[in-house]
């Protein structure tokens, strides 16, 4: 600075936070229902550490019925949209996911629904 040949050393440190999704409730148990009757519930998706807008995608499970047919008895909707946005206070807004189950065949299922963002986090 000002033709002074002194050396300056700057040390930088930081923490990298990977974006993640939390769920409330963490586990979902749907009540048994008669054939062709819907059961449904809402879950809250709580995004953390997203620095830019991202869209949530859901991979619904394929289930094998007793007769061997593959069925997709689950459906999901996002009443407020499925985009993760950063609010003015720097936090990610939570999303509501409405999950519905309906089957015309007897089926019992224990498994996962996979929620990912555009970068497959």
Question: DSSP string spanning 46-111?
Answer: EEES--S-EE-EEEPPPEE-TTS-EE--EEEE-TT-SEE-B-TTSPBPPEEEEEEE--SS------
Q: What is the pLDDT of residue 2?
A: 64
Q: What is the pLDDT of residue 59?
A: 94
Query: At 112, which CATH number?
Result: 2.60.40
Residue 107: inside a domain, yes or no?
A: yes
Residue 7: inside a domain, yes or no?
A: no
Number of domains comprising the chain: 1
Q: What is the pLDDT of residue 103?
A: 93
Residue 94: inside a domain, yes or no?
A: yes
pLDDT average per 10 residues of sequence, the chain (121 residues)? 69 84 91 93 93 91 89 95 86 93 90 89 82
Residue 72: inside a domain, yes or no?
A: yes
Domain that holds residue 67: 20-116
For 68, what's the count of Cα atoms within 13 Å in the CB-facing half-sphere? 0
If you search the block for the tokens 């995608």, which residue do you land on? 57
Residue 31: inside a domain, yes or no?
A: yes
- Give the span between the Cα atoms of 82 and 94, in whole angstroms: 10
Residue 44: inside a domain, yes or no?
A: yes
Q: What is the pLDDT of residue 4?
A: 67
- Give the span between the Cα atoms of 28 and 66, in whole angstroms: 23
Distances (CA, A) of 110 to 28, 42, 79: 10, 18, 25
């Amino acid at each position: 600075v000002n033709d002074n040949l002194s050396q300056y050393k700057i040390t930088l440190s930081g923490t990298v936070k990977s974006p993640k999704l939390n769920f409330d409730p963490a586990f979902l148990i749907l009540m048994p229902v008669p054939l062709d009757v819907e059961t449904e519930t809402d879950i809250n998706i709580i995004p953390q550490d997203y620095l830019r807008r991202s869209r949530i995608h859901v991979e619904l499970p394929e289930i094998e019925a007793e007769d061997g047919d593959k069925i997709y008895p689950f459906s999901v909707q996002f009443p407020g949209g499925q985009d993760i946005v950063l609010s003015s206070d720097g936090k990610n807004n939570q999303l509501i996911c409405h999950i519905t189950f309906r089957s015309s065949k007897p089926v019992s299922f224990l498994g996962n629904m996979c929620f990912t963002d555009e970068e497959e986090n």
